[in-house]
Amino acid sequence: MIIEKNIAFKLNEKPIEDSLVERPKRIKQALKRKSANEDKKINQIVASILLREIEDKYFEVY
């Protein structure tokens, strides 16, 4: 019962503004993950293009 009162008190003591502050952090993290995933995809595309060019040059010589 004491634990339930403590939990209820902690839930009630958090003002609304604090919950609004958490959202931008989550949005920033989501944007970072999205940009990191896009960078990873771009790096994979560039690596495959370079690998293809290297293979083409290698097979032209031999």
Per-residue pLDDT tens digits for 36-62: 999 999 999 999 999 999 888 888 766
Domain-embedded: residue 39: yes
Model pLDDT for residues 4-44, shown as the tens digit of each residue: 666 666 666 555 555 555 667 888 888 889 999 999 999 99
Q: What is the dihedral of CA 42, 47, 52, 55, to 10 degrees?
A: 180
The whole-angstrom separation of Cα 44 and Cα 27 is 26
Domain-embedded: residue 45: yes
Domain-embedded: residue 15: no
Number of domains comprising the chain: 1
In 3-state terms, the chain is what percent helix, strand and coil (to 5)?
Answer: 95, 0, 5
* Domain around 54: 33-62
